[in-house]
Structure 1
Amino acid sequence: MAEPSATEPKRPGREPDRAERADDAVIATRGLTKRYRGGQLAVDGLDLTVPAGSVFGFLGPNGSGKTTTIRMLMGLIEPTSGSARVLDRPMPRASRTVLPRVGALIEGPALYGFLSGRDNLLRYDAADPTADPRTRRERVAAALDRVGLAAAGGKKAKAYSLGMKQRLGLAAALLQPRRLLVLDEPTNGLDPQGMREIRTLVRELASDGTTVFLSSHLLDEIEQVCTHAAVMAQGRLITQGAVADLAAGARGRLVVTTPDAGEAARVLKEQGAADVVVDGERVTSEPPERDLAEVNAALVAARVRVRGFVLERASLEDAFVALTGEGFDVAG
């Protein structure tokens, strides 16, 4: 396989820091491509760099190629062309060396429904040739406790809800210390409280030195926990980098709060604002290309009673729309 280039291309205006260099990457792909029978192109020439120590969000609508990419990274399927390196080893050739150091939850856990959650984990651990059988029960108990299933460990897996099955799959990925944790839609089926708990757990793992590669179609969810992200659409990489940099690449929204919403919308359009939307007393728009103090003054001069005037920070959703011109499913 071809070796990855030594560094990522430099972004204009600044030097790449250590965490962004491909020679310090936990995952690096070059031209990674997967074409299925019948000509379906699932992943198209992917160049991805996941910095060591990051919480990396792998974003894209359902069907954008995220899971296919993860399956190639984990050696579950062969790429059609291109290369992938995980923990600085070529995949899938080095699967036996790499996978014991990787915890993964891909497309939901495979469970024995007639066994308890605890017994499922005991079987997972027994299948790992690197696992120490002398500490098996202690590590299983710790993993169940870490994902909030200590009280349900004795219940049969077939009685688990979807969210509980997701938690159990995550517990299986945490049975041993891992350099890399790969999670494919880990909050699927979880209620808001469960989502918060998973976010907290991911942050704890990252603070312990584990790199977390987190695939999701929920931009808001990823924005709360990730340090870096990449955006996929129709099998192609749209952009990647630090989350703050990606959001900064999109303009925010100007928000005016006023009882004179109709007049405010008219003035904003005259001032060059685009995509003006009125919702009750809230008027939002893309900010015009001029000093916002002048825009505020124009509203006041038109006798608009301005109760709020703020430029909201751009989100990952804003960045995605700016890059692709398409909407994004942020609510699932």
Structure 2
Amino acid sequence: MDEPSAAEPGRGQPPEPGPAGARVGVIVTRGLTKRYRGGQLAVDGLDLTVPAGSVFGFLGPNGSGKTTTIRMLMGLIEPTAGTVRVLGRPMPRAARTVLPQVGALIEGPALYGFLSGRDNLLRYDAADPAADPRTRRARVTAALDRVGLTAAAGKKAKAYSLGMKQRLGLAAALLRPRGLLVLDEPTNGLDPQGMREIRTLIRELAADGTTVFLSSHLLDEIEQVCTHAAVMTRGRLVTQGPVADLAAGARDRLVVTTPDAAEAARVLKEQGVGDVAADGDRVTGEPPARDLAEVTAALVAAGVRVRGLTVERASLEDTFVALTGEGFDVAR
């Protein structure tokens, strides 16, 4: 979606109630599949549930099907098979009802380079038939202030940096309250301070009741702001759930730093440490059930020169690599 969409006044309509009055997800897909001409399978049987009020991270390597999925969620392309429900309504059939309640920044904002940042937002808002023209300038001013662009509001958009364009696109998505905000790489091009500001804004939006669906290549970003996440690879969903649970699924590692790696590996195996591996002066393994003080004492008694012994806690990065077999961008 190249342009942020407009929204109805107030929060988006709540998802339709499920059985026994339970609330279903703000986004729900079942068997969602997209096959392009030539047989390329971009998305394969995706079952995704985004809880109401969550900040939902959507992870995957390049080419995993994330952008294709988002485009189907927004009704921009038709699925080959399966169903999509957004805010409780079927997509793309209910696009005219759903999209006014959704703010989106996907694949970068579409801007008029010859207009100022402020005039771009005024143009976006004027294109929304539900927008109240009497409050337009006040809402544009508030949106610019919220993303830190007040000082640059009068500059032409073509003079904006990539990070400033990202901010302006986000401001367009925030001209009025949203039930759902869909963001594709929202911190792309921002400096560290800008990243922190956008992450803080995302948390504030979620606290106000907006569900945020966030596609990102930055695992650090997902761990800092997201309550839930899903991981895709090669068009298939491999896991989803609360971020804390996903990280807990990876194994902690015992790490011993020593110049006597071979002897340390032997002793660790004797002490019940599993999956022992040595690489240079670093020996790793699964933490044993016994007290680590006893393991340290055994290493010292065997003459191993221990320079460090610690347990590295599992992270979302560990989970991602274990599930996909691929590295990931963890830059801050």
Check 1:206–1:5 CA distance in 2 against 1; reply closer, same or farther (3 A cut).
closer
Which letter does structure 2 place at the counterpart of 1:322?
A
In the aligned structure 2, how far is the partner of 1:68 from the partner of 1:297? 55
2:140 corresponds to: 140
Cα distance change of structure 1 residues 177 and 6 upon mapping to structure 2, 3 Å threshold: closer
**Residues 88-139 of structure 1, C-alpha deviations (whole Å, 9 max, x = no match):** 0000111111111110000000000000111111111111112111111111
- Shift of the alpha carbon at 1:313? 1.8
Residue identity matched to 1:317: E
Letter in 2 for 1:324: T
Superposed counterparts of 1:9-158, under 5 Å? 23-158=23-158
**Residue in structure 2 matched with residue 11 of structure 1 by the alignment:** none
Q: Distance in 2 between matches of 1:275 and 1:54?
A: 39
Letter in 1 for 2:290: D
Change in CA separation of 1:22 and 1:85 when aligned onto 2, cut-off 3 Å: farther
TM-score, normalised to structure 1's length? 0.87
Shift in CA distance, 177/314, structure 1 to aligned 2, threshold 3 Å: same
What SS does structure 2 have at the residue aligned with 1:24? coil
Q: Deviations over 1:8-40 (max 9, x none)?
A: xxxxxxxxxx9xx98421000000011111111
3-state SS, counterpart of residue 246 of structure 2: helix
CA gap 1:132/1:38 in 2 versus in 1, 3 angstroms: same
- Assess, with a 3 A threshold, how the Cα gap between structure 1 residues 288 and 328 changes in structure 2: closer, same or farther: same
| Contact 2:261/2:278, CA 8 A, preserved across alignment | no
Distance 2:287 2:312 in 1: 14
Shift in Å at residue 305 of structure 1? 4.8
Write the distance in 2 (CA, Å) between the matches of 1:272 and 1:314.
16
Separation of aligned partners in 2, 1:190 and 1:126: 28
- CA distance in structure 1 between the partners assigned to 2:280 and 2:53 by the alignment: 43
- 99 and 5 in structure 1: CA distance in 2 versus 1, 3 angstrom threshold: closer
Deviates more, 1:217-226 or 1:238-247: 217-226
Q: Measure, in 2, the Cα distance between the counterparts of 1:265 and 1:253.
A: 14
1:1-332 to structure 2, matched below 5 A, reads 23-257=23-257, 264=264, 267-268=267-268, 271-278=273-280, 283=282, 285-288=284-287, 290-291=289-290, 293=292, 294-306=294-306, 308-331=308-331
Assess, with a 3 A threshold, how the Cα gap between structure 1 residues 329 and 274 changes in structure 2: closer, same or farther: farther
CA distance in 2, matches of 1:93, 1:23: 21
The superposition leaves residues 196-221 of structure 1 with CA deviations (integer Å, 9 ceiling, x where unpaired) of: 11111111111111111000122122
Q: Please, which moves more after superposition, 289-298 or 43-52?
A: 289-298
* Distance in structure 2 (CA, Å) of the matches to 1:218 and 1:78: 28
1:15 counterpart residue number: none
Contact (CA 8 Å) 2:180, 2:210: kept in 1 or not? yes
Asked if the contact 1:60/1:217 (under 8 Å) is kept, the reply is: yes
Is the CA contact (8 Å cut-off) linking 1:30 and 1:84 kept in structure 2? yes
Higher relative contact order (CA 8 A, sep 6+): 2
Q: Output the CA distance in 2 between the equivalents of 1:151 and 1:327.
A: 39
| Runs of at least 5 residues in structure 2 that lack an aligned partner in the other structure | 1-15
SS in 1 for 2:26: strand
Q: Distance in 2 between matches of 1:119 and 1:22?
A: 43
Q: Distance in 1 between matches of 2:17 and 2:48?
A: 11
* Distance in 2, Cα, partners of 1:266 & 1:160: 59
| Larger CA deviation: 186-195 vs 70-79 | 186-195
Q: Deviations over 1:279-299 (max 9, x none)?
A: 6xxx35232555352433322
Closer, same or farther: CA 29–284 of 1 in aligned 2, 3 Å: farther
- Cα distance change of structure 1 residues 152 and 265 upon mapping to structure 2, 3 Å threshold: farther
Identity of paired residues, percent?
A: 82
**What is the letter of the counterpart of residue 206 of structure 2?**
A
Structure 2: distance between partners of 1:159 and 1:201: 24
Counterpart Cα distance in 1 of 2:244 and 2:95 = 33
1:228 touches 1:243 (CA, 8 Å); kept in 2? yes
Contact 1:72–1:78 (8 Å) recurs in 2:
yes
5+ unaligned residues in a row in structure 1: which ranges?
A: 8-17
